[in-house]
Amino acid sequence: MQTSLPVQADFPLRTLNTFGISALAHAYLAVHAADDLFRVCADDRLAALPRLVLGGGSNLLFTRDFPGLVLHMLNTGKRVSGEDASHVYVTGAAGENWHEFVRWTLENGWGGLENLSLIPGTVGAAPVQNIGAYGAELKDYFHSLLAFDFETGKTRLFTAADCCFAYRESFFKQDGAGRFVILEVTFALPGQWQPNLSYPDVAEALSNAGHVVPSPKDISDVIIAIRQRKLPDPALVGNAGSFFKNPTVSRALFDELKVAHPHMPGYVQPDGSVRIAAGWLIDQCGWKGKTHGNAGVCETQALVLINRGEATGEEVVRLSEAIRQDVRDRFGLLLDVEPVFI
């Protein structure tokens, strides 16, 4: 493929996805600046290819080789982009490591993102999934983002309303997929910070550590410890973190389910609906620690599917379908998957 850009053909992606699945990209480009995307757009042959934007590779599952152009976002940089009476605005480039960005905000004394500590991935990928953990979601602190539009060849600023955030969803995962490439994200961090201790595990860990009035960094530290205890390190065991979304049901249905399953955990949402812990549902079906071909279910968290060595994407898909069927048969609930299947 002849182009002025350093595009590589038949590029191996195994080390660029946290599941460690072997796959090839027909074409691959490391993106270090917005100019790289302008040049792709101006190249008719490259612009005609299917596109896959890759960050940390932590929320996707390759089931085949990718027949188009992989744009690997490696642009870096973080800065304070503004301040007013109520917020500090901080901006991170898309290629920045998410956890390192969170810790940078905390080291500078800005609270808000601490409950999202140690989530794998990059700053640019975080809005796509509207990442969330321990009672917080990215949308809670999102201000705006800048993205490149392959349809117009220009950049566009997105507000929170433009992003259409929902539970593990956004415009960029739906209608905007393939068209827009996020370049940088800006967050509004509160000047008057209040701790989010809505999850009992976090409150208990802080109490055990003697933090009566915890700081944002204290909360981050205990969440890191909890995640390290419960979740496998992708650098050691291939996985994409939580593989299934927690199903959300009406309060009436949850109360009905509780009659049959008294210990079912649920978390009431602002709209009155109840979010049920998918990991508990899977565990009740006996899947924790089980192996299915070369794929398996984590021994410490049933919500996490793992690569036991040489798993293919198809094996992981078959395992996930078997789990979904068992949960549906026992509880009447259909689990949706979090990772994007390629």
Catalytic residue numbers, as ranges: 168, 242, 338
Instruction: Tokens 């915890």: give the residue.
Output: 214
* End-to-end Cα distance, the chain: 23
d(CA 113, CA 291): 35
- Positive or negative, the CA dihedral 195, 199, 205, 207 is positive
Instruction: Tokens 């350093």: give the residue.
Output: 6
From the list 57, 52, 124, the residue with the least C-alpha distance to 94 is 124
> What would the 3-class secondary structure string for 133-200 be?
ECCEEHHHCEEEEEEEECCCCEEEEEEHHHHCCECCECHHHCCCCCCEEEEEEEEEEECCCCCCCCCH
Instruction: Tokens 């117009």: give the residue.
Output: 152
